[in-house]
Amino acid sequence: MSEDYVIHEWWLVRHAPVNTDKIYGHLDLEADFSDTQRLAEIARMLPEGSRFITSDLSRSIETARGLQTHEKFAKNLDIRAGLREQNFGAWEGRTHAEIEKSEPDAYRRFWADPAQAKTERGESFQDLIRRVDQEIKNLLQDMTSRQLVIVTHAGLIRAMVGRALGIAPQKMLALAIDPLSVTHLTSFSRDDEVSWRINFLNDRGGEGHLRR
């Protein structure tokens, strides 16, 4: 790439697991931080001096703070509501089985087109993509750090990877993004043009772990 491109490294970390079978979206539920070994593995993967950015939900904030206990990181944290998970509105706090039983037609319509459908008082995945587009635009204007660690949610990471790949929203939903996984992207931007490289996706540690 030409030297006049601005390069950012995007380290996308999904928060620690939430032990529930309910749909939680915007609900601020506590996460399970018992896997301290995995948190330590992720901290070792991330570059020294990285800028940490999270959603404003506690499961992301506390995951970021857990990673920042490593001495190579500053403790500053940029918290952004725009990086929240998709809002599932009236369905949040309920299980899929409960919703399918009480609202079978609405449930069937939603899963017939999950990228465009939205629940009562909720947002569609397409709405979330628009939020992601704005957040990416804002972060690409940041010249203070090349290394960006974004601790966020599965839907946000699917949207960011999908945008980088240029795939349709329906295809983005097929991407597996597990708790405490790491996805690494590189962006090359100049003026209003941005190109992307996918370095690895959904690294969960253990067997097949991609070391750097």
Q: Where are the alpha helices (H) located in the chain, listed in sequence order?
A: 36-45, 58-67, 96-102, 104-112, 125-140, 154-165, 169-172
Mean pLDDT across 78-100: 97
Distances from the Cα of 173 to the Cα of 72, 76, 180, angstroms: 34, 32, 18
Mean pLDDT across 82-89: 97
pTM of the model: 0.93
Sequence-ordered list of residues with C-beta below 8 angstroms from that of 34, at least 6 positions apart, any chain: none
Cα dihedral 105, 177, 26, 17 sign: positive
Mean pLDDT across 173-188: 97
SS3 assignment, position 37: helix
User: pLDDT band at 142, cuts 50/70/90?
Assistant: confident
Query: How many CB atoms lie under 10 A from the CB of residue 99?
Result: 18
User: pLDDT band at 2, cuts 50/70/90?
Assistant: low
pLDDT one-digit tens code per residue, 124-140: 999 999 999 999 999 98
- Which domains occur in the chain, in start order? 6-203 (3.40.50.1240)
Query: How many CB atoms lie under 10 A from the CB of residue 64?
Result: 24
Mean pLDDT across 201-206: 88
pLDDT value, residue 206: 61
Mean pLDDT across 98-118: 97
Residue 209 reports pLDDT greater than 90: no
| Token pair 């983005």 in the structure block, residue | 172
User: pLDDT band at 210, cuts 50/70/90?
Assistant: very low
* Average pLDDT across the chain, whole number: 93
Number of H helices, E strands in the chain: 7, 6
Residue 122 reports pLDDT greater than 70: yes
User: pLDDT band at 208, cuts 50/70/90?
Assistant: very low
Residue 70 reports pLDDT greater than 50: yes
pLDDT value, residue 212: 31
Sequence-ordered list of residues with C-beta below 8 angstroms from that of 20, at least 6 positions apart, any chain: 29
